[in-house]
Amino acid sequence: MSRRFARGATSLALALAVLVVTALAQPALAADDATAPRYTDGATTFQANCVVCHGRYGVGQPSLAPPLTDYPARYIANAEGRRQLAMTVLYGMFGDITVQQKHYNFRMPQFAQLSDDALAAVLNYVAFDLAHASADTAALSAADIAAVRSQPVGADAVRVHRSALLTDLGLAN
């Protein structure tokens, strides 16, 4: 094999490699687009305030913070569940809770310092983007958050309300 041919073969191989990489990158980009969050403001608030405990995609951390990938979708489709979501971020929660048969007993801080808009957006991100609530379910509005903000309760009452809600939803607690 001549040196010149070898060089030609190398550049051909390189060109092919570039084509293959480009072709492979294409569907990956398309998949990323498909999973782009619907609630982008909520996603930003989540990254800044919630990821540290609940994990990047709300998967939770064993015995530390519960996953947010299932129950919030059930909550948002129920009137008391919608209040529960707002109460949890406005007043926090502590005490033993069960999520998908696993126990958690640590403190969820309150985020009352965030605006009604920011809290509605972060909860919509959790319920629709992370927990995949059905798209025909009504999103939470700033007014929904304001209504719960106007009736302050303690973090322990949030857990008691959750317990009644889970019974209504037929979930173990």
- CA 68 vs CA 9, 16, 117: distances in Å: 53, 44, 20
Q: Which of 47, 105, 134, 163 binds ligand HEC (CB under 6 A)?
A: 105
Does 78 sit near ligand HEC (CB under 6 A)? no
Total residues belonging to the chain? 173
Q: How far apart are CA 162 and CA 143, in angstroms?
A: 21
Q: Which of 21, 25, 52, 157 binds ligand HEC (CB under 6 A)?
A: 52
Does 55 sit near ligand HEC (CB under 6 A)? no
Q: Which of 73, 76, 87, 89 binds ligand HEC (CB under 6 A)?
A: 89
Closer to ligand HEC by CB, 57 or 94: give it: 94
Closer to ligand HEC by CB, 38 or 107: give it: 107
> Smallest gap, in angstroms, from Cβ of residue 7 to ligand HEC?
57
Does 88 sit near ligand HEC (CB under 6 A)? yes
Does 57 sit near ligand HEC (CB under 6 A)? no
Closer to ligand HEC by CB, 66 or 140: give it: 66
# residues near ligand HEC by CB under 6 A: 29
Binding residues for ligand HEC, rule: CB under 6 A, are 49-50, 52-54, 65-66, 68, 71-72, 85, 88-89, 93-95, 97, 99, 104-109, 111, 122, 126, 159, 162
